Amino acid sequence: MEEKLFEDQHNKIDKTKEALYSGMREEKLMMNELKKKEFEVQKNWDTSSQEKSFGKDTTNLPDTMVHKKSKSVSKIILILSILFFIGALIFAFYVLRKEPNVFSPENIEMSIKGLVSVGAGEDINLGIIIENKNLTNLESAELIIDFPSGARGALVGQEKKSRIVKSLGTIIPGSLVNEKITAEFFGEENEIKTVLVTLEYRFEGSSATLVKETEHTVKIISSPISVSLEIPDEIVSNQEIELVVKIESDTNNLTKNLLLNISYPFGFSFIKADPEPQDDNVWVLPDLEPRGKQVIKILGTIKGDPDSSGVFSADLGIQDRQNSNNIETVFSHAEESVIIKQAFIGLQVLINRQQTEDYIVIKKDEKVYVSILWENNLDTRITDAKITVKLDHDIINRKSILIPDPKGFYMSVDDTIIWNQQTNSELASIPSGGKGVVSFSFNLLPVVSEKGLFKDVELNISASAEGRRLSNVNVLEQIKTPIVGKARLVSDVGLTAKALYRDGPFTNSGPLPPKSNKKTTYTIVWQITNPTNQITNTIIRATLPTYVSWLKSVSPTTENIFYNELGGEIVWSAGEIEAGAGITKKPKIVAFQVELIPSITQVGTFPILVNDATLTATDSFTGSTVDDAEPAQDIRLTADPYYKLIEEKVVQ
C-alpha cells in the first residue's frame, strides 16, 4: 500500500518536471540557442521544493530569462526621471530669475494725489494714478470713486456726483492711467472725510473679476456757515422764553438749499416763531447771501422740576434731496443748556376754579371766573409788588368785567387789569412764604355779533407779577414772573327737528287729520347747526313708536342713515360738520318718511311720530364731546307752512 503511494507521488513529480522542461525548451527556441542544463529533482515529497518548482523562488532559474526585460524598463524610467528633473530645474530657475509673481494684484499700483485739508465748500483737485506692472493686460478695467456723505466730485467737464464710475477698458503691461477729478467737501470744522477709490478688472485669459482699493482722507478745516443759539441760562417753569438762532455765512459764495433743525428739551412747548417753521422745528431757509446773516426767533414755554436742566440744539446743513425734512450734510452744530428754576413769585391761574395745565373748556353762555394765586418763593422779602393781567380776545365783553375785593383797576386803553400796593396793601411788602389771591370775572359776547363770527376761540389770560428784592450784595433787583392761563370755547352745536305733510322733499298721502286704522305718511326733517368749531363723528339717534313704520325714503340719498327694525332705532351718521354751518354756511339736513296707522284708542290725541332725538359729536378744537337734544315730534305740524289747527288730532 505504502509502496503504491510512493510510486504515485514519484509519477506526479516526473509529470511536473516534464511540463516545466517542455516549456523551457520552447522558450529557448524563441530566444537564442542555449545549452540544456540539468536540474536535480528530489525524489521525495517536499513542500519547499514544490513551492520553488511552481515559480515562487526563481533563484535557480536562468538569469537571462528573469532579468532581461526588467533591466530595459528600469533604464527607460531612469532616463525619463533625469530629464524631468533637469527640466524642472531650468523652469524654476527661469521663473525665479525673471519675476517673483507674473500675475498678481500686488503688481498694480494705485495712488491718489491731492490736498489733505480744505475749507468746507471749496473745490480741490484730486489725481488718481494707476500703474500696471504685471506682464499681462488688465481687461474690462472700471474705475469707481465713492465720496462720503457731504462730498461730491466730477471728472473733467462733468457734473458733480456722490459716485463716479468710468470704464478704462484694457490697461496694458507697464502703462499708466491718470484720471483727474474736481471735488468739494461739506461738513463741520475738523470733520474727516474719506474718499474710496476702487479698480475692478480681469487678468487676460481669466473670467474672475478682481478688486483693488485705496483711500484718501480730507480734513475740513473751516465751515462756510455757522449757527449759534442765544437763550437765558436760567428759566422759570411754565414761563415763556425766547430762543434766538443766528446763522452767519463765512464764504464769498451764495449758499443754497439750507435746512435748520432744532431739537427741544423735554417739557418744551412751541408757541410761535418768526419766520414760521415746518413741523415746529424745521426751517427750509432761503438762499444765504455771501457773508450774509439770518435770525430766527422761537417763542415757547418749558415745564420741569426746580433745578432740572434741558438742552436746546441746532443743526444746520444741506437739505436731503430724498427727504426734505432731513439734513444730508451738517455744516454747523450748536447747543445750549438751561436750568429750570422755581419762580421768584409763584403764580397760578385758575379759570372757573380749574387749574389750566393746557387749557380748560368754557361755554358761550357761562360767566368766566379767573383767580390769580400768588406766593413769595424767595427767602427774602419782596417789596413794591404788582400783578398785571392782560386780556387778548374780542369775544370778551369788556363792559361785564367785575373785580371784587381786593380791588384792582381795569385799564381799557391797553386791556389790562392791575393790582398794586395802592389797591392792595398786602403787595407793599411780602414776607418770605407770603401768599394771597386776586380775581375777576367777565361774560362773553355772542359768537355771532357785529364783529362777525367767532371761530376757534382761545382766551389767553396772561398774568405777571413783579417786585423788588434785596440781593446778596445788598442791591435792590427787579424780578418778574409771567404765566398764561388758557381757555377754549366749545362749539354750540344745535339740533332741530320738525314734522311735515305738505312741505318737504316727499309727496305724502293719507287722510289729514289722520283717521284710526288708516295710513297717513309724514316727512321728518333733522337739521344741524354748528357756529364756532369744526365737529367730527356726529351721530343723531331716535326711535319710532310701535305704531309708526319706516318707509326707506331718505333725502338726500347720499346721507348715511340707517334704521334698525328690531329696536326701531334710527341712526344718522352725519360725520364732519364745518364751523359756521347754519350761520354763514348751509346747515346739515336730512329728511326721511314715516307712516302712521293710528289706533282707535288714539282718537282725539296727538300721536308721536318720532321720539326724542339726541346728537353727540367731538369738537375738533377743544377735543371735548358736544351734544344736543330735540324733543319728540307729533302730528301737530307747527313747522308746516300749510298747517291747520283742525288737522292736529286723530279722528275716527
Per-chain mean pLDDT for the chain: 84
Q: Please check whether the two domains, 225-341 and 347-488, share a CATH topology.
A: yes
Instruction: State residue 79's pLDDT score.
Output: 81
Q: How far is the C-alpha of 226 from the C-alpha of 220, rounded, in Å? A: 14
Instruction: State residue 49's pLDDT score.
Output: 42
The region of weakest confidence among 71-80, 308-317, 569-578 is 71-80
The ranges assigned to domains in the chain are 2-60, 62-98, 105-222, 225-341, 347-488, 494-647
Residue 206 — pLDDT band, cuts 50, 70, 90?
A: confident
Instruction: State residue 124's pLDDT score.
Output: 87
Instruction: State residue 472's pLDDT score.
Output: 54
Cell digits for 64?
537571462
CATH topology of domain 347-488: Immunoglobulin-like (2.60.40)
Q: How far is the C-alpha of 389 from the C-alpha of 464, rounded, in Å? A: 7
Instruction: State residue 341's pLDDT score.
Output: 80
For domain 105-222, is the CATH number 2.60.40.3670?
yes
The region of weakest confidence among 137-146, 255-264, 489-498 is 255-264
**Burial 179-193, CB ≥16 within 10 A → b, else e:** bebbbbbbbbeebeb
Q: What is the pLDDT of residues 83-117, one digit of tens each?
A: 877 877 776 555 445 444 467 889 999 999 988 88
440 φ/ψ angles, rounded to the nearest 5 degrees? -160, 170
- Is the pLDDT at 592 greater than 60, yes or no? yes
Q: Of 541 and 235, which is predicted with more confidence?
A: 541
Instruction: State residue 416's pLDDT score.
Output: 95
For domain 494-647, is the CATH number 2.60.40.1170?
yes
- Is the pLDDT at 24 greater than 50, yes or no? no
The region of weakest confidence among 295-299, 302-306, 547-551 is 302-306
Q: What is the pLDDT of residues 353-412, one digit of tens each?
A: 998 778 999 998 899 999 999 999 888 889 999 999 999 888 999 999 999 877 899 999
CATH superfamily membership of 225-341: Immunoglobulins (2.60.40.10)
Q: What percent of the chain has pLDDT over 70?
A: 85
Closest CA to 200 of 136, 279, 142, 130: 142
Closest CA to 208 of 106, 284, 138: 138
Q: What is the pLDDT of residues 291-302, one digit of tens each?
A: 889 999 999 988
Question: What single letter denotes the amino acid at residue 70?
Answer: S
The set of residues, in sequence order, having a beta carbon less than 8 Å from that of 149 and lying 6+ positions away, is: 328, 329
Q: What is the pLDDT of residues 464-522, one digit of tens each?
A: 888 888 765 455 556 677 788 899 999 999 999 999 999 999 999 999 999 999 999 99
Instruction: State residue 507's pLDDT score.
Output: 96
Q: Residue range 554-576: average pLDDT?
A: 95
Instruction: State residue 528's pLDDT score.
Output: 97
- Is the pLDDT at 5 greater than 60, yes or no? no
Instruction: State residue 637's pLDDT score.
Output: 95
- Is the pLDDT at 70 greater than 70, yes or no? no
- Is the pLDDT at 450 greater than 80, yes or no? no
Q: What is the pLDDT of residues 211-234, one digit of tens each?
A: 999 999 999 887 778 889 998 887
Q: Is the pTM of this model over 0.75?
A: no
Q: Residue range 639-645: average pLDDT?
A: 91
Q: Of 470 and 650, which is predicted with more confidence?
A: 650
Instruction: State residue 336's pLDDT score.
Output: 92
Residue 562 — pLDDT band, cuts 50, 70, 90?
A: very high
Q: How far is the C-alpha of 570 from the C-alpha of 563, rounded, in Å? A: 5
The stretches of 31-130 forming alpha helices (DSSP H) are 47-51, 63-98
Q: How far is the C-alpha of 287 from the C-alpha of 254, rounded, in Å? A: 7
- Is the pLDDT at 591 greater than 90, yes or no? yes
Instruction: State residue 471's pLDDT score.
Output: 62
* Residue 510, burial from CB neighbour count under 10 angstroms (0-12, 13-18, 19+): middle
Residue 614 — pLDDT band, cuts 50, 70, 90?
A: very high
The region of weakest confidence among 45-54, 293-302, 320-329, 542-551 is 45-54
